């Protein structure tokens, strides 16, 4: 059994990171790639994995220390000697040699870093999962390559599925696929190892730099102060479950695992008191907070976020007849959670009105031939987009979000509008950017393209983010009105029902007019009823005379 140094691997460009949690203790047995400790940079928390399977013999750092690539964080007795002569092996087993030279030699034989293997004129890189735009633990649904395949840069390697979209992870290099490190069903996050790839390399500097790195790290190990040796103290336990409101602008300090737990339990991390180093929130804090909220709910104390509302106890439906159970899809579960959160947190009011679109429809239908030449179908949606963009510019109180933690109103200087799309997989809302700067034909083409990508589950996360306002239409199905739920943190949403011919009094007689029902739901914390009436009035004017959209 060989002893080797555990060193900080490549940190993806971060110069220095802080240790926020030590996951193992001296004497623990670990498998290769098991997390050893968690570090935090300015932008993310990352778990550092074990370089090999074995037993942790020494931890040379503590929570709060700052480390960089190449620093020694502990020692590992690897379970199995990867190479070397019989004499070298017997020396290791009889008496561990503390010299930096022998450690470096053992390291070079037993645990060369996977990303820097050299083979003639090539090198092997471990391809990692890139940024997933905020998504975590996305399952692999398809592996697009096989070991031995040759791929080009940007060729798709695997396909993953988030709550709302399917994404292909591209290859960052051109090369040959080596070992595939994941399988279908595995869950990935940013920074997860994906596969090994052999890349042609012109120079021989890669191997030299790795050797020099080993030497430098060995020197670093010898200079470690004695005070860092010894058993690591456990993370402090929560001091209590009392809630202390954070001051405005307080940043939540919590790692990915804690944030995931909070999402699963429905806990608002801004209301959780952290007991970790520098007020960091740990899992025990989340459990303590949830327990206290449940106790308050049982005692009749309300919870502002709605998390204390008791669930509905279901009867045994099988006593009434035959039933079948099936699990919710990820998209359905995510939609249900988002809808409930919006409904519980936003005081909804809905304003109803009818727009006379008789002339607009005549103009739209007259564009059929032009649309065929362009390969674009002109629907009512581009007119609605332009009208809403004009109304948002005229009434900017609808183009805001409320930051209740800081007691601030976020005013947006851009106009991006989401369009709700009914797909076989569930409701999806792609976002059209800078609607106020685009023409009708451009909006028609872009909305059709995004709707098709939504139905094909090909939307990228960035294509579903950043909306200021949402339009949802049931006009193709039917109905006279409905009350759409605001897509928080937006403050308003426009529901569109099916247009129908109605008699309208023109001052002398009734005229048949094509009337489009509009339902504007809004957040009453941000928008007053009078403003909502002004908004729908402006929409009816713009849609009633589309020439005003040019002004």
Query: What is the reported pLDDT for 98?
Result: 41
Whether 524 sits among the annotated catalytic residues: the reply is: yes
The residue ranking higher by pLDDT, 235 or 479, is 479
Average pLDDT over residues 251-260: 69
Which domains occur in the chain, in start order?
1-112+206-230 (2.40.50.100), 122-200 (2.40.50.100), 256-298 (4.10.320.10), 347-550 (3.30.559.10)
Q: What is the DSSP track for 118-146? A: EETTEEEEEEE----TT--SEEEEEE---
pLDDT for 203 equals 44
Q: How confident is the model at residue 215, as a pLDDT?
A: 39
pLDDT of residue 296: 67
- Distance between CA atoms of residues 545 and 551, nearest Å: 11
Helices 100-110 and 86-94, axial angle in degrees (round to 10): 120
Least confident of 171-180, 310-319, 490-499, 528-537: 310-319
Task: Give the whole-number percent of the chain exceeding pLDDT 70.
Answer: 76
Q: Report residue 212's pLDDT band, with 50, 70 and 90 as the boundaries.
A: very low
Q: Are strands 469-473 and 417-419 parallel, antiparallel or unpaired?
A: parallel
Q: What is the mean pLDDT of residues 295-316?
A: 61
Q: Give the tens place of pLDDT for each residue, 24-61.
A: 888 888 888 888 888 876 656 677 888 888 899 999 99
Sheet of 45-49, strand order: 45-49, 35-40, 17-22, 66-67
Q: Is the pLDDT at 238 greater than 50, yes or no?
A: no
Classify 485 as helix, strand or coil: coil
At residue 247 the predicted structure's pLDDT band, cuts being 50, 70 and 90, is very low
Among 287, 416, 425, 524, the one annotated catalytic? 524
Which pLDDT score, from 0 to 100, does residue 223 have?
A: 40
Neighbours of 418 (CB within 10 A): 23
Helices and strands per DSSP (H, E), number in the chain: 11, 28
Q: Which long-range contacts (CB under 8 A, 24 or more apart) does 332-338 make?
A: 332/426, 333/163, 334/163, 334/164, 335/426, 335/427, 338/487
- More confident of the two residues 163 and 22: 22
pLDDT score, position 469: 98
Rounded Cα gap, residues 340 and 332, in angstroms: 12
Half-sphere exposure of 137 (CA within 13 A, CB side): 8
Residue 293 to residue 308: CA distance in whole angstroms:
6
> Residue 551: helix, strand or coil by DSSP?
coil
Is residue 232 predicted with pLDDT exceeding 60?
no
Residue 2: predicted pLDDT: 74
Q: What is the per-residue pLDDT across 446-490, written as a single tens digit (0 to 9) for each?
A: 999 999 999 998 888 889 999 999 999 998 898 999 999 999 999
Whole-angstrom Cα distance, residue 190 to residue 181?
Answer: 15
pLDDT at position 352 is 98
| The predicted structure's pLDDT at residue 525 | 96
ω into 489 cis (within 30 of 0)? yes
Give the E-state strand segments of 371-523 in sequence order: 400-403, 408-411, 417-419, 421-423, 426-428, 431-432, 469-473, 492-496, 500-505, 510-523
Q: What is the pLDDT of residue 299?
A: 56
Average pLDDT of the chain is 80
Give the CB-side neighbour count of residue 271, counting CA atoms within 13 A.
18
Residue 490 has a pLDDT of 97
Please determine, for residue 335, whether its predicted confidence score (pLDDT) is greater than 80: yes
Task: Determine which of 172-176, 211-215, 344-348 has the lowest per-residue pLDDT on average.
Answer: 211-215
Confidence class for position 249, pLDDT limits 50, 70, 90? very low
Question: Quick one: pLDDT band at residue 226, thresholds 50, 70, 90?
Answer: very low
How many other C-beta atoms are found inside a 10 Å radius of the C-beta of residue 417?
26
- Tens digits of residue pLDDT in 52-65: 888 999 999 998 88
Beta strands in 357-499 (DSSP E): 400-403, 408-411, 417-419, 421-423, 426-428, 431-432, 469-473, 492-496
Q: What is the mean pLDDT of residues 293-303?
A: 58
Question: How far apart are alpha carbons 179 and 196 in whole angstroms?
Answer: 5
Give 127-150 pLDDT, tens digit per residue: 998 877 667 888 888 898 989 899
Count Cβ atoms below 10 Å from residue 536 Cβ, excluding itself: 19
State the Cα–Cα distance between residues 33 and 128, nearest whole angstrom: 13
| Statement: residue 251 has pLDDT above 90 | no
- Give the number of C-alpha atoms closer than 13 A to the C-alpha of residue 134, restricted to the C-beta side: 8
Q: What is the DSSP string of 203-252?
A: -SHHHHHHHHHHHHHHHHHHT--GGG-SPPPPPPPPS-----PPPTTPPP
pLDDT digits (tens, 9 = 90+) for 310-324: 677 888 899 899 999
| CA-based max dimension of the chain | 110
Confidence band of 80 (pLDDT split at 50, 70, 90): low
DSSP string for 320-367: TS-----PPPHHHHHHHHHHHHHHHHS-EEEEEEEEE-HHHHHHHHHT
Is residue 84 scored above 70 in pLDDT? no
CB neighbours (10 Å) of residue 11? Answer: 18
Contacts of 262 (CB under 8 A, 6+ apart): 254, 268, 269, 272, 286
pLDDT of 156 over the 80 cut:
yes
Phi/psi for 245 (5° steps) reads -60, 130
Please tell me which residue, 424 or 98, carries the higher pLDDT value.
Answer: 424
What mean pLDDT do residues 97-108 have?
40
Tell me which H or E stretch contains 195: strand 193-200
β-bridge mates for residue 427, sequence order = 422
């Amino acid at each position: 059994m060989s002893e080797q140094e555990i060193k900080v691997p490549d940190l993806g460009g971060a110069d220095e990171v802080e240790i926020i949690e030590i996951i193992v203790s001296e004497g623990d047995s670990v498998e290769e790639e098991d997390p050893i400790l968690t570090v935090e940079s300015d932008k993310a928390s990352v778990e550092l994995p074990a370089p090999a399977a074995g037993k942790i013999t020494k931890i040379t750092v503590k929570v709060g220390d700052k480390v960089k690539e190449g620093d020694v964080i502990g020692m590992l007795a690897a379970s199995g000697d990867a190479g070397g002569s019989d004499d070298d092996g017997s020396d290791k087993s009889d008496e561990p040699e503390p010299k930096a030279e022998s450690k470096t030699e053992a390291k070079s034989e037993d645990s060369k870093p996977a990303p820097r293997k050299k083979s003639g004129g090539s090198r092997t890189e471990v391809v990692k999962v890139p940024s997933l735009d905020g998504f975590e633990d996305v399952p692999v649904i398809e592996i697009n390559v096989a070991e031995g395949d040759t791929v080009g840069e940007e060729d798709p390697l695997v396909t993953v599925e988030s709550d709302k979209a399917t994404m292909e992870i591209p290859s960052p290099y051109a090369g040959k696929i080596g070992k595939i490190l994941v399988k279908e069903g595995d869950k990935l996050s940013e920074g997860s190892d994906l596969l090994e790839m052999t890349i042609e390399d012109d120079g021989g500097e890669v191997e030299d730099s790795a050797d020099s790195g080993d030497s430098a790290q060995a020197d670093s190990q010898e200079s470690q102060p004695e005070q860092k040796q010894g058993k690591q103290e456990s993370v402090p336990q929560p001091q209590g479950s009392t809630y202390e409101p954070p001051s405005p602008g307080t940043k939540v300090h919590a790692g990915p695992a804690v944030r995931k737990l909070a999402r699963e339990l429905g806990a608002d991390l801004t209301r959780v008191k952290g007991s970790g180093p520098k007020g960091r929130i740990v899992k025990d804090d989340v459990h303590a907070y949830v327990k206290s909220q449940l106790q308050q709910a049982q005692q009749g104390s309300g919870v502002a976020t709605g998390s204390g509302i008791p669930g509905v106890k279901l009867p045994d439906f099988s006593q009434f007849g035959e039933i079948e159970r099936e699990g919710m899809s990820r998209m359905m579960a995510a939609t249900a959670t988002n809808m409930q959160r919006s409904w519980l947190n936003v005081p909804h009011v809905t304003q109803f009105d009818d727009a006379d679109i008789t002339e607009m429809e005549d103009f739209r239908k007259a564009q059929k031939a032009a649309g065929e030449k362009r390969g674009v179908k002109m629907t009512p949606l581009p007119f609605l987009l332009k009208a809403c963009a004009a109304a948002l510019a005229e009434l900017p109180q609808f183009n805001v979000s409320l930051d209740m933690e800081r007691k601030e109103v976020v005013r947006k200087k851009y106009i991006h509008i989401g369009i709700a799309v009914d797909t076989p997989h569930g409701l999806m809302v792609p976002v059209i950017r800078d609607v106020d700067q685009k023409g009708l034909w451009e909006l028609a083409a872009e909305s059709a393209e995004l709707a098709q990508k939504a139905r094909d589950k090909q939307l990228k996360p960035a294509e579903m983010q950043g909306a200021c306002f949402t339009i949802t239409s049931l006009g193709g199905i039917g109905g006279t009105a409905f009350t759409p739920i605001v897509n928080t943190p937006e403050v308003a949403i426009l529901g569109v029902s099916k247009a129908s011919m109605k008699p309208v009094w023109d001052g002398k007689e009734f005229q048949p007019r094509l009337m489009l029902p509009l339902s504007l739901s809004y957040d009453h914390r941000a928008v007053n009823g009078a403003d909502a009436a002004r908004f729908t009035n402006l929409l009816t004017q713009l849609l009633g005379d589309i020439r005003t959209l040019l002004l």
